[in-house]
Amino acid sequence: MGSGGNGREGCKSGSAVRSCEDALSRLYDLLDGELDDVTGEQVVAHFEACRRCYPHLACERAFKTALKRTMEGRKAPPELRREVLSLLEGLADDD
């Protein structure tokens, strides 16, 4: 199983993020800036130290950057914007 049988082959992070599964489950929250500073730093520390997890972070960062680059200067069509705003207003009215 590698690395002492802990199921984290190639993982030598020693960070407060207890497992690769924990880090991977927080990947999108990290990339979207939805983690508090301490948790974000812990997740980043895990990814930077873990050979198994780091490729996931690198791939998702590259994908997000490429997606952002292709969408630069593009806006949703006015009718789509109106429809989304109308739906959001409807949800607010339900509260």
Tens-digit pLDDT profile for the chain (95 aa)?
Answer: 334 334 445 565 555 567 899 999 999 999 999 999 999 999 999 999 999 999 999 999 999 999 989 888 888 889 999 999 999 998 877 76
pLDDT in tens, 45-72: 999 999 999 999 999 999 999 998 988 8
Total domain count, the chain: 1
For residues 53 and 75, give the distance between their C-alpha atoms in angstroms, rounded to a whole number.
34
- Give the predicted TM-score (pTM) of the model: 0.61
Q: Which of 47, 69, 71 is nearest to 59 (CA)?
A: 47
Domain that holds residue 45: 3-94
